[in-house]
Structure 1
Amino acid sequence: MFSEEYIKGRGAQLNVPNRFDQHSHEMRDDFLNYCAVEGDEATESRTTIIDTFPKTIVNKVTSPDVGLEYSLNPYQGCEHGCIYCYARNSHEYWGYSAGLDFEQKILVKRNAVELLEEKLKSKSWKATPIVLSGNTDCYQPIEKKFQITRKLLQTFLKYRHPVGMITKNALVQRDIDVLRELAAENLVHVNISVTSLQEETRRILEPRTASIKRRLETIEKLSSVSIPVSVMMAPIIPSINSHEIMPLVKEISERGALGVGYTIVRLNGAIGQIFSDWIRKAMPDRADKVLHQIKNLHGGSLNDSRFGTRMKGEGEFASQVAQQFKIARNLYLKDRERPKLNCKLHEEYKDGQMKLF
């Protein structure tokens, strides 16, 4: 399946030029040949951790397609390496490439907890659900060491503030104790991203994420202790995972999921070049077919930036996907719904403890 140039264990196969840089560089063949002869690596493959101290941590989301008003990302960049990730482009704002840099240079927001507490204590702040991982996964591998996400959840609990989260990592199970306390007062929703039921597909699309088995186990464990959990099948990529809608929704239903959502793949910004390069190395036998089908979903382009259509696509294939999800929900998730997040408690806990008078 893979071409000789494929880099195993990573999503992106190259660093594309940063659109904000005045200059760009490229790997010349003579340099690559020299490295091969000398037995040297042409590029650094290890993950680098970079400490940052932002001034704010809660972000207003202006897109009407996303379904959330505020997000919070404790990390920038993501070692999971999902090849299709829309967040890759945001790494360019930090001076890095949306390609390999995105999964190798991880920025850690060291003061995230302090900034969140400051926000929740503000007299002007009115409780509105804040979603962890609006951009990059809050449970990516380095969370095991830094535990920033766990501390953020404890802060949301302290101030009785509603929080949502989306992750591909089974590490969320570590925090079931905090999540149960939040769920007891309708203060949390958890979304688990499951793109495929096929482990081989997962391995090449999302190389450093939790296995499909572990994600399904996570859905089951969370739901078994009354933590509301839903699933995002995102993105749907034609001829890669588009045939799995019905069996996937059936499987997550049996694990206790309360709902399912989806998006259609769109390759915005630098991701078009990154994905095209990747698929020609990872799936050379079907690369042209997949890229052609993606273009058909977006009016002949790999990307559509228009609100209202960019997340669901257009045309016959997009209609078929929408219809399949409608049928799947009716068959396997009928009469299930997540409890509404509670925004009424926070005002009484703004100083970190309930007001008695």
Structure 2
Amino acid sequence: MRTYRLATPGSGDPIELGTEERPIPGPRQLLVKTRAAAINRRDLLITTGRYPLPSRPGVVPLSDGAGEVVAVGADVTRFAAGDRVTASYWPRWVSGPLRPDLVDQLGCTTDGWLAEYVLFDETAAVAIPEHLTWAEAAALPCAGVTAWNALTRPGTLTAGQTVLTLGTGDVSLFAVQLAKAMGARVIATTSSPAKADRLRALGADEVVDYVANPDWSQEVRGLTGGQGVDHVVETQGPATFGQSLRAASLYAQICLLWVVSEKPETLTITEEDLGGSLATIRREFVGNRTELEALCRAVDTAKLRPAVDRAFGFDEAVSAYRSYRDEGSFGKVVIEF
């Protein structure tokens, strides 16, 4: 089979293509024929050595993908040949809190999806909704689960509440779709009228242009009659956090998804920001297999379709990385096999 691996530092390309023996599944493993894989921002950080978790040299990249089971080990009970599956971002974290002994990540410390065939323990795999294309299904494990958990814990989002999303990154787009499917009113921020139209098509009820309105938190509060929003999916902090806090209602839930920046940033909260707030501020780092299964059920029930911006062929994987790095995208950049 053909497979990509993380390139040697200084080689000039982020990943390198090679040929290897097709793996054979162990007793509790699945052999999956990859149909599509998706790139996340953390995959770029891994290639430049800026990702907080050190990667294994020569690892097969990408945490997100989808494919068809073609062979199973003798003791496998959860899946069979022909099943359509994805896999958990944290392949050994099934449920409960994340523990230090479960910190393996696909495409970082253990081999990911950018190969024609991949091996997973059956406990990592999750069935994908039948209505999704391979490319759409490949978008779920990282950004989809992160958005799901940002909305559903703690203090579960209820119908009629208002959710604020920031920008048009992958997590934000998922949050728009999921929050709308849960019956929430969605207010999104963006930088251009063209993106505003696309956000409305995904389900946003109101869109605030943060370029035209630099003090966008006041416009958000105006759209809620001065009350503020109930939930904030804060994907652009720390720089935007003060405004997110000012846009939030008295007892809002704010999920802070810290962005690794080109240079270190400091989270600054002023007295004005905190003056009228009793908001709960929390973090999320993707989620476990049980939460990926819950996301898949929600996507299936609402018949949601993740936003896919553009697709590249397997032989174009290096170009896909460069495109993701250099060109703006609205939705996932995927590699189809």
Q: Return the TM-score normalized by structure 2.
A: 0.28
Q: What TM-score, normalized to structure 1?
A: 0.27
Larger relative contact order (CA 8 Å, sep ≥ 6): 1
Larger radius of gyration: 1
Task: Compare the two structures and name the one with the higher helix fraction.
Answer: 1
Structure having the larger proportion of residues in strand: 2
